[in-house]
């Protein structure tokens, strides 16, 4: 790592305690001890996906990760998960270096409880107002995530968020995510002021990822336009936007909404029953795709950066290549200004 790269990495590296300010996004069923430790041992930073894991299972995953790496790692908590409060309580006795809050807005008291363990707190921000609120609540850093990302997403592109937040907010480190898969792009984001870069989709198909081969193959075959967000057709049936690859399951979800709207309009179904059917449709869908390889009916959560993927690589190779591309682009820009 040259002096030029080091100057742009410094803020993120100091915050995360790692060699490269490159984060592996926490992915349910994928970000388990094997992948997390591989990323951390290679110089990056990764977090275990808390999802809805029972607290004892999450504690066991923390213990297993500690056996696999002596580097800092984190835990990602989803604030709307049923086990969320129990997970927070468990982390008091099993502290990690960083806790990342995802989902809805964590309370300031919940952030304070985590910070009392010695951990740093990172919060996601998908809008300008959320970024400001999370800072007021006590976040130590933000992940500014654009709608290009995979999984549960907001509705504002990273390009707009950069101009709304990154360009005007320097009180705490801001990491950026959504649609990023190359070091060359990352170099420019670092020059804009980002403390580091988070990627999920590229790590999802890493050699060390536990995802089913069929899941990885589906991503390698996909184009950027194949990663679409779920649509909501009627305000009576709320749908949390999720970006995933188009498949039979996604088509049937759209058809389900149309069918339920018809039944509601005809008075053949109560609103609560219809909402329950929407909520339950995707239960287990991600696990079916990731673990069982059912890429037709499961949910293949993926960002639009899937269109930039062309091979399966070991984590160390991904990070080394990424760092090399960042350095090359920084040097190119420097030379373009006469050195």
Q: Please give the pLDDT value at position 278.
A: 86
Q: Please give the pLDDT value at position 339.
A: 62
Q: Please give the pLDDT value at position 240.
A: 84
Residues contacting residue 272 through CB under 8 Å, at least 6 positions apart: none
Average pLDDT, the chain: 95
Digit-coded pLDDT (tens) for 104-158: 889 999 999 999 999 999 999 999 999 999 999 999 999 999 999 999 999 999 9
Digit-coded pLDDT (tens) for 197-239: 999 999 999 999 999 999 999 999 999 999 999 989 999 998 8
**What DSSP letter does each residue of 205-243 carry, written as one string?**
TSTT--S-HHHHHHHHH--GGGEEE-----TTS----EE
Contact between 229 and 242 under an 8 Å Cβ cutoff? The reply is yes
Partners of 24 in the beta sheet?
46, 199
Mean pLDDT of 38-60: 97
Q: Please give the pLDDT value at position 52.
A: 87
Mean pLDDT of 89-108: 94
Strands 174-177 and 141-145: parallel
From the number of C-beta atoms within 10 Å of its C-beta (0-12, 13-18, 19+), residue 281 rates as: middle
Judged against a pLDDT cut of 70, whether residue 1 lies above it is answered with no
Mean pLDDT of 257-269: 93
> pLDDT-based confidence at 250, cuts 50/70/90?
very high
From the number of C-beta atoms within 10 Å of its C-beta (0-12, 13-18, 19+), residue 190 rates as: buried
Enumerate domains of the chain plus CATH numbers: 3-210+309-336 (3.20.20.70), 223-301 (no CATH)
Mean pLDDT of 179-206: 98
> Structure tokens of 6?
């080091």
Q: Please give the pLDDT value at position 2.
A: 59
Digit-coded pLDDT (tens) for 9-48: 999 999 999 999 999 999 999 999 999 999 999 999 999 9
**CA-to-CA distance for 55 and 60, rounded, in angstroms?**
9
- What's the alpha-carbon Rg for the chain, to the nearest Å? 20
Specify whether the backbone of 138 is left (phi greater than 0), alpha (psi in -120 to 50) or beta.
left
Digit-coded pLDDT (tens) for 309-330: 999 999 999 999 999 999 999 9
Rounded to two decimals, the pTM is: 0.94
Q: Please give the pLDDT value at position 319.
A: 98
Is 76 in a helix, a strand, or coil? strand
Judged against a pLDDT cut of 80, whether residue 243 lies above it is answered with yes
DSSP secondary structure code for residue 79 in this structure: T
Residues contacting residue 284 through CB under 8 Å, at least 6 positions apart: none
Q: Please give the pLDDT value at position 119.
A: 97
Residues contacting residue 143 through CB under 8 Å, at least 6 positions apart: 23, 100, 122, 123, 124, 125, 174, 175, 176, 177, 198
């Amino acid at each position: 790592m040259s002096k030029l790269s080091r100057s742009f990495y410094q803020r993120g590296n100091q915050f995360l305690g790692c060699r490269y300010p490159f984060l592996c996004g926490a992915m349910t069923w994928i970000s388990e001890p094997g992948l997390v430790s591989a990323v951390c041992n290679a110089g990056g930073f990764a977090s275990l996906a808390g999802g809805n894991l029972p607290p004892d299972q999450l504690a066991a995953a923390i213990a297993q990760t500690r056996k696999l790496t002596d580097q800092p790692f984190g835990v990602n908590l989803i604030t709307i998960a049923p086990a969320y409060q129990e997970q927070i309580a468990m982390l008091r006795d099993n502290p990690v270096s960083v806790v990342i809050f995802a989902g809805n807005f964590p309370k300031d008291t919940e952030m304070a409880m985590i910070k009392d363990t010695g951990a740093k707190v990172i919060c996601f921000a998908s809008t300008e107002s959320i970024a400001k609120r999370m800072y007021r609540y006590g976040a130590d850093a933000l992940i500014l995530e654009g709608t290009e990302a995979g999984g549960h997403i907001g509705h504002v592109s990273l390009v707009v968020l950069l101009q709304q937040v990154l360009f005007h907010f320097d009180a705490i480190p801001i990491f950026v995510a959504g649609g990023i898969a190359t070091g060359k792009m990352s170099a420019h984001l670092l020059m804009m002021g980002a403390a580091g870069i988070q990627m999920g989709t590229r790590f999802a198909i890493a050699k060390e990822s536990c995802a089913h081969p069929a899941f990885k193959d589906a991503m390698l075959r996909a184009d950027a336009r194949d990663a679409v967000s779920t649509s909501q057709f009627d305000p009576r049936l709320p749908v949390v936007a999720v970006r995933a690859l188009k498949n039979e399951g996604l088509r049937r979800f759209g058809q389900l909404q149309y069918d339920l709207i018809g039944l509601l309009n005809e008075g053949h179904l109560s609103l609560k029953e219809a909402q329950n059917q929407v909520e339950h449709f995707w239960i287990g869908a991600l696990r079916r795709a990731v673990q069982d390889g059912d890429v037709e009916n499961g949910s293949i959560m993926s960002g639009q950066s899937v269109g930039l993927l062309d091979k399966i690589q070991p984590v160390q190779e991904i990070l080394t290549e990424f760092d090399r591309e960042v350095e090359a682009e920084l040097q190119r820009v420097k030379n373009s200004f006469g050195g």
